[in-house]
Structure 1
C-alpha cells in the first residue's frame, strides 16, 4: 500500500538492519537491550539476539488526545513519570482533568501489561550498565521521552536510543537527553511510522511474552 515509502519488510527485518548499525556496542560488558511494548519488542529482540545481550521491556504508555487517540499529548511510565507535550495540549485546549482521566486509564493498562509480560520476574538492574532502548520508530517522541526519564533516574552507564525510522527534528531533540540516538532513516517527509514498513500489523501481548521468553536473560559469559 505504501510501496513508495516502505524500507523495511516488517519489524524483524528492521531489527536485523538496526542490529548491524549497533554492532560496535556488542562487546560492551553488561549491555542491556530494552524494547518499548508492544511494537518495539520484535525490533529489540533481533537487536538483542545479534548483540548477544539480554532483552527486557521498558513499559511506557502514550497519552492519546481524547477523540484522537493516535495523536500523543504525552506519555506515562512506571514510577509515576509523566511527560507532556505542551504544544499539542495548548493547541487543542486540553484541560488538566482530561489529561488526568487519560493518564489514569493508561496507568491501569501499564500495570496490566507489566503483569502480562513479566509475570513474577523482576525488572533487570539498570544502574551502571550500558542500555540500548529500542522502538519500531519515533513520531512525536513522547513515549521515548517518558522511557528516557524513567531510565535516567536509574543511572545507567550509557543510554542509547535506537530506532529504524524517526523525523530528523525528533532525533536532534533527543540527542540532548541521551548519549546517542541511532536511526536508520530520518526522512524529512516522515508522515507516519507505518508507511516505512511493508507489514506493520499490530504486535500482540502473546508475541511480546513469547519474545521475552525466547530471549536470553543473561550475557553468555554470565551463565554458569
Structure 2
C-alpha cells in the first residue's frame, strides 16, 4: 500500500537505482504518472519528460477502455473488448483522443517535440497498470524511435500485465501485484484525479 503518488514514486525510484549509471530518460505517462516520474528522475539524476498517450474509452463507460493511442499515432485495440463498439464509433473516439493528445502536448509539454530517445535507455513510468493499453502504445512508440533499452516501471500491475510487458519491454519493475487486484486505486491510501496544473508543477 502506498500513501500517495509521491510515496509510490520514491519507492519506485529505490527499485530503479541500478539504472542510474545508464543515463536514462524517464518518460511519464500523464497525468497520473507524472509525480512518480518526477520522483524517479530526481533520485536517479535523470532527464525527465512526458510521453503522451490516451486510453480509447468505451462510449457507454469512459472509465474503461478498449485500447489506446500514442502521440505518434501508434494505437492498440483490444479486438475482443472492441466488439461492442461500431467501426464508425471507434474512428470517432480515435479522432477525439488525437485532439486531446495535441492539446496535452501544447499544454503540458509546451508544444515541444517528443525528445530524441535513439540509443538511450528509457524508463516508462505510470501510477499503475490495469489493462495496460496506454503502456502498450508507449512501449511501441519507444521501439519505433529506436530506444536502446525500454524499462516499464510502475508501483502496481496485474499479473497478466507483468507477463505481457515482460515480453514487450526489455525489463519490467513492479513493486506490488495483489492477488485480488482490480484497480490501480486500491493500493493508494490517497487517490485522486490529477489536474493539468498539478502536472505543470512537476515540469
TM-score, normalising length: structure 2: 0.97
1:39-98 deviation per Cα after TM superposition (whole angstroms, max 9, x unaligned)? 0000111000000001100000000111111111000111221110112113xx211111
2:79 equivalent to 1:79:
no
Instruction: Report the equivalent of 1:40.
Output: 33
Aligned length: 203
Separation of aligned partners in 2, 1:66 and 1:122: 30
The answer to whether the 8 A contact 2:4-2:191 is kept is yes
1:202 deviates by 1.2
Residues 164/41 of structure 1: CA separation in 2 closer, same or farther (3 Å cut): same
The answer to whether the 8 A contact 2:105-2:111 is kept is no
For CA contacts below 8 A with separation 6 or more, give which structure has more relative contact order: 1
- For 2:154, what is the secondary structure of its paired residue? strand
Separation of aligned partners in 1, 2:153 and 2:113: 24
Separation of aligned partners in 2, 1:43 and 1:149: 21
Instruction: Report the equivalent of 1:23.
Output: 17
Give the CA RMSD over aligned residues: 0.9
Runs ≥4 in structure 1, deviation > 6 angstroms? none
Separation of aligned partners in 2, 1:120 and 1:77: 15
1:122 deviates by 3.2
* Structure 1 residue corresponding to 2:183, chosen from 192, 197, 206: 192
- For 1:86, what is the secondary structure of its paired residue? coil
1:114 deviates by 0.3
Which structure has the larger Rg over C-alpha atoms?
Answer: 1
1:122-162 deviation per Cα after TM superposition (whole angstroms, max 9, x unaligned)? 33210000000000000100010011111110011100000
Instruction: Report the equivalent of 2:117.
Output: 126
Unaligned stretches of 5+ in structure 1? 1-6, 213-224
Instruction: Report the equivalent of 1:88.
Output: 81
Instruction: Report the equivalent of 2:165.
Output: 174
Unaligned stretches of 5+ in structure 2? none
Instruction: Report the equivalent of 2:91.
Output: 100
TM-score, normalising length: structure 1: 0.88
- For 1:73, what is the secondary structure of its paired residue? strand
